[in-house]
């Protein structure tokens, strides 16, 4: 077994830790705090900060990472780590997978293991996936802009806030579904995304979307809105076929909406364009709209919000 992740652990990760440590120090963080964020000892941080950065740059050059690119990635990783350790892991993983998909790791990997001379697995696997995810990110970003520009959309924003999810290619797991980290919230009577879209940002929305796609693969995107009787009437008038989950029992599930949807889908319901979750104890009623793309569901949500405000 000769995975490229050996190179991640032996060269890429130490080099990035070295450069990120310097960025965090420049932001005024103590060595103790930096060691906690990086997951290394304080002695390692001290060595990073006292030694020349050239070795880090040389290690990254093995993967065709230029000095300027290394500096940009280190700045980005430092910012992500300051948000949370999880964001730091996500950011680091995105950089590494990008290098795998581009083929930048292949020369060093083949030098380590000459028998892999004909291998193109990473380019095929990660390159194609990265391209599809990039397209989905761009699509969701455009859809979010439509929502943010709408003066009426806030009328249908639930208390739990809004998220918009879009499957990248033939997505089969949450890590291949693009959504908004932190959701879309109300800011001064307008919708505002907390952060740019990224893959794997919403497990809940991903699970809902992937369940629906298991029956109707053409549905690539979904958005959640506040639900009440008035909106229910508008859905009927608009010709939107809804699958109703009903009220949830008082027992709290890990994800009551997903569990109820799974049960409904087992019965093989007729085709639908929306899922109505009537809520329950501690669960706000929501409707999930589905469509073939992120902008499609955003435009549909805005149209419903306009009609809702005018009614």
Instruction: Give pLDDT tens digits for 136-184.
Output: 999 999 999 999 999 999 999 999 999 999 999 888 888 889 999 889 9
Assign domain 132-310 to a CATH class: alpha beta
Across residues 195-209, what is the average pLDDT?
91
Question: pLDDT at position 152, please?
Answer: 96
Helix or strand holding residue 221 (H, E): strand 221-226
Instruction: Give, in order, the Cα–Cα distances in Å from 278 to each of 23, 138, 269, 270.
Output: 48, 32, 18, 19
pLDDT, averaged across the chain: 91
Instruction: Give pLDDT tens digits for 62-107.
Output: 999 999 889 999 999 999 999 898 889 988 988 898 889 888 899 9
Instruction: Give pLDDT tens digits for 19-56.
Output: 999 999 999 999 999 999 999 999 999 999 999 999 99
Instruction: Give pLDDT tens digits for 106-149.
Output: 999 999 888 888 888 888 777 777 778 889 999 999 999 999 99
Indicate the Cα dihedral angle 282, 227, 136, 16, nearest 10°: -30
Locate CATH 3.40.225.10 in the chain: 132-310
Question: pLDDT at position 117, please?
Answer: 80
Question: pLDDT at position 2, please?
Answer: 86
pTM confidence score: 0.67
Collect all residues with Cβ–Cβ distance below 8 Å to 210 and sequence separation of at least 6.
Answer: 167, 171, 172, 173, 174, 177
Instruction: Give, in order, the Cα–Cα distances in Å from 286 to each of 12, 26, 116, 170, 279.
Output: 44, 45, 51, 26, 7
Give the C-alpha separation, 154 to 190, whole Å.
6
pLDDT tier, 255 (very low <50, low <70, confident <90, very high otherwise): confident
Provide the H-helix boundaries in 124-244: 128-149, 203-215, 229-237
Give the C-alpha separation, 176 to 202, whole Å.
11
CB distance 175 to 138 below 8 Å: no
DSSP secondary structure letter of residue 247 = P
Give the C-alpha separation, 104 to 46, whole Å.
30
């Amino acid at each position: 077994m000769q995975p490229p992740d050996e190179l991640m652990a032996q060269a890429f990760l130490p080099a990035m830790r070295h450069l990120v440590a310097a960025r965090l120090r420049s932001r005024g963080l103590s060595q103790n705090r930096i060691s906690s964020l990086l997951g290394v000892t304080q002695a390692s941080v001290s060595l990073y900060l006292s030694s020349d950065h050239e070795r880090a740059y040389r290690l990254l050059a093995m993967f065709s990472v230029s000095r300027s690119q290394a500096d940009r990635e280190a700045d980005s990783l430092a910012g992500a780590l300051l948000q949370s350790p999880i964001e730091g892991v996500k950011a680091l993983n995105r950089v590494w997978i990008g290098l795998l998909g581009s083929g930048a790791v292949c020369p060093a990997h083949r030098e380590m293991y000459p028998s892999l001379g004909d291998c193109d697995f990473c380019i095929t696997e990660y390159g194609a996936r990265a391209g599809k995810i990039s397209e989905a990110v761009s699509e969701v970003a455009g859809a979010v802009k439509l929502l943010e520009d709408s003066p009426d959309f806030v009328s249908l924003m639930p208390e739990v806030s809004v998220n918009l999810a879009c499957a990248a290619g033939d997505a089969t797991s949450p890590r291949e579904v693009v959504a908004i980290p932190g959701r879309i919230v109300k800011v001064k009577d307008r919708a505002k995304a907390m952060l740019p879209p990224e893959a794997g940002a919403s497990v809940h929305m991903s699970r809902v979307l992937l369940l629906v796609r298991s029956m109707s693969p053409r549905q690539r995107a979904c958005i959640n809105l506040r639900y009440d009787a008035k909106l229910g009437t508008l859905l009927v008038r608009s010709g939107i076929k809804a699958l109703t989950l009903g009220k949830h029992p008082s027992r709290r599930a890990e994800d009551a909406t997903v569990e109820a949807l799974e049960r409904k889908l087992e019965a093989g319901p007729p085709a639908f364009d929306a899922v109505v979750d009537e809520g329950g104890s501690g669960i706000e009623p929501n409707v999930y709209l589905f469509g073939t793309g992120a902008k499609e569901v955003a435009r549909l949500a805005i149209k419903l919000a306009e009609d809702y405000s005018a009614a």
